[in-house]
Amino acid sequence: GAVVSQHPSWVICKSGTSVKIECRSLDFQATTMFWYRQFPKQSLMLMATSNEGSKATYEQGVEKDKFLINHASLTLSTLTVTSAHPEDSSFYICSARMGLGTYNEQFFGPGTRLTVL
């Protein structure tokens, strides 16, 4: 099956610093990648959608200057949390999609736990 990896799996940083999270599709080319945020005991909340080579589309309420997304290739997307604050502490999950197809399947990464001190 399609595999999506994330790196790092967890990160602790000081308030005010920036953190970069990588999302890779290991055995397929992802035309679209998605970034989600999940708070404890809540479901996934879509932050942004990115297509390779174009600007990401952000969901309402998500600051594009704070959460920088780069989708430079068909197998790699990065999310940079700039000037992180404690309220940015969360579980960040990416997913990747090959194409629309019949099922519009998204394959999820294992997630990155971000803790901002």
Partner 1 sequence: KNQVEQSPQSLIILEGKNCTLQCNYTVSPFSNLRWYKQDTGRGPVSLTIMTFSENTKSNGRYTATLDADTKQSSLHITASQLSDSASYICVVSANTGRRALTFGSGTRLQVQP
Binding site for partner 1 (CB under 8 A): 4, 6, 41-46, 49, 91, 93, 95, 100, 102-111, 113
Backbone angles phi, psi at 36, to 5 degrees: -125, 160
Q: Is-contact 21 79, C-beta < 8 A? A: yes
Closest approach of Cβ 25 to partner 1, in Å? 13
Structure tokens at 86: 């404690």
Closest approach of Cβ 83 to partner 1, in Å? 26
Nearest one of 95, 91, 92 to 109, comparing CA atoms: 95
